[in-house]
Amino acid sequence: MSAETVTISKLGGQGDGIAYDADGPVYVPFALPGETVSIARVKSEGTLMSIGTPSPDRQEPACRHFGPDGVNGTCGGCTLQHYADLPYRAFKRQLVIDALKSKGLTPEVDELFAAHPGERRRVVFSARRTEKDMLIGFSQAESHHIVAIEECPISSAAIVARLPAIRAVAKAVAINAEGFRISVLETLAGLDLAVEGIKTISDKQRRAVIDTVLSLRSIARVSFNGEVLVEPYKPLIDFGGIQVSPSPGAFTQATKPAEDAMAELVVSHVGKAKRIADLFAGTGTFSLRLARIGRVTAVEADEKALASLDSAARNSQGLKPVTVERRDLFRRPLMTLELKHFDAVVFDPPRAGAEFQSKELARSAVKKIVAVSCNPLSLARDLAILVEGGYRITRVTPIDQFLWTSHVEVVVALEK
């Protein structure tokens, strides 16, 4: 390990500062463009020791767990709390522009839909029992060390206020020092906790969890590896006025404002389409809203998520028919002949994107497509396929729902 002084040229895709020397790039977490910093270096990785010339865009971090001066952050949940709002948002927008440009795409990109503190309704905590206490928090960056938290400015007030309750449930389920995860979702009925990472659970633990939850009255449900342990209240989330009861640990958008913004863009572009396919539909984030416009075919591989969507559609008034199909779209995408039945297609795949599905769409005659993605790089690949197949990008909107990180969502509208 050697100590040296470097000047940061730019931020990389993960939010690290990047300096350059004769050997190539050096990655320095928590450093900002234009700063001269002292680092302890191992090959291409630099640990920030001190800042000689701070950037005018450096700000005081919002959370004490990030690090007292924004230099040596401890909690691994956020990486960019030290970056002022305007340049931070410009950085995220530029990530999308650069990803599209890497595939030869140069559409106009909207300003970033901004995230704000206190909006996160879905948080995944790390947990572990120690000799003295029950640790609940986030893993330190590139480490298994759990930083116990007492505050979390990105999370909703309901989650932060119930940290003692979450800790109590964790204590009831943990019998040794084995680490595990607790996914926390704020719902209309209370918190929905999904415990994962523990291999087995005894009857004694089950009883302890049930007794703990019934005494708290702020927890709607606790599940263990997908199995419901106790459910005093049915968890409910709202998709544009339609209530859905998600399956344990089901994927939901991390913030309600971002979800609403994405849904508004999707619905607006689909317009008056009569027949709509929603691919990678999940629990119905878009499907149920789209069913107010036209007939929807919702395709999803997760059987439990699909069941939640189907139940909500059947029990809601004012919707056009919703048909559900369980299907692994990575292995078996909707083929061109199947796509001919639809006027519009929406797809929102996992980070890997929808390469095979995009190839089928590119050969189709579907008039309108909306691509939603949490990974600008895989999205750019899929968009390039669609553009080569005759589609025109009409709008690109980056959306921030993972505040103070390098993750950015994107909604793209296309027409044949």
Half-sphere exposure of 121 (CA within 13 A, CB side): 20
Beta strands in 212-315 (DSSP E): 219-224, 227-230, 237-239, 242-244, 275-279, 295-300
Q: Examine the domain organization and report whether 293 and 365 are in the same domain.
A: yes
Task: Work out the pLDDT band at 1, boundaries 50, 70, 90.
Answer: low
374 assigned to active site? yes
> How many independent structural domains does the chain possess?
3
**Average pLDDT across the chain, whole number:** 94
pLDDT, one tens digit per residue, over 254-312 is: 999 999 999 999 999 999 999 999 999 999 999 999 999 999 999 999 999 999 999 99
**Is residue 77 in some structural domain?**
no
Q: Which of 203, 237, 271 is the last residue of a domain?
A: 237
Examine the pLDDT at 248 and tell me if it is beyond 70.
yes
pTM for the model: 0.94
Q: Examine the domain organization and report whether 135 and 201 are in the same domain.
A: yes
Show Cβ contacts of residue 157 under 8 Å, excluding neighbours closer than 6 positions: 118
Per-residue confidence (pLDDT) for residue 2, from 0 to 100: 65
Q: What SS3 class is residue 229?
A: strand
pLDDT, one tens digit per residue, over 152-200 is: 999 999 999 999 999 999 999 998 888 999 999 999 999 999 999 998 9
Q: Which of 181, 204, 237 is the last residue of a domain?
A: 237
**Is residue 274 in some structural domain?**
yes
The DSSP call for residue 327 is -
CB atoms < 10 A from the CB of 36, how many?
16
pLDDT, one tens digit per residue, over 118-158 is: 999 999 999 999 888 899 999 887 677 888 888 899 999 99
Q: What is the largest CA-CA distance in the chain?
A: 67
Let me know: does 304 contact 276? Beta carbons within 8 Å: no
138 assigned binding-site residue: no
For the chain, what percent of residues have pLDDT higher than 70?
A: 98
pLDDT, one tens digit per residue, over 359-401 is: 999 999 999 999 999 999 999 999 999 999 999 999 999 999 9
Choice among 75, 78, 152, 374 that is catalytic: 374
Write out the residue range of the structural domain in which residue 134 sits. 122-237
**Is residue 75 in some structural domain?**
no
Q: Examine the domain organization and report whether 140 and 107 are in the same domain.
A: no
CATH number for 46:
2.40.50.140
253 assigned binding-site residue: yes
As given in the structure block, the two tokens for residue 396 are 């690109």
**Is residue 246 in some structural domain?**
no
Examine the pLDDT at 415 and tell me if it is beyond 70.
yes
Q: Examine the domain organization and report whether 147 and 188 are in the same domain.
A: yes
Q: In what order do the strands lie in the sheet with 134-139?
A: 146-148, 134-139, 122-129, 180-187, 190-196, 219-224, 227-230
Q: What is the C-alpha to C-alpha distance for residues 327 and 338, in angstroms, rounded to an integer?
A: 13
Q: Which of 183, 202, 237 is the last residue of a domain?
A: 237
Half-sphere exposure of 143 (CA within 13 A, CB side): 13
**Is residue 127 in some structural domain?**
yes
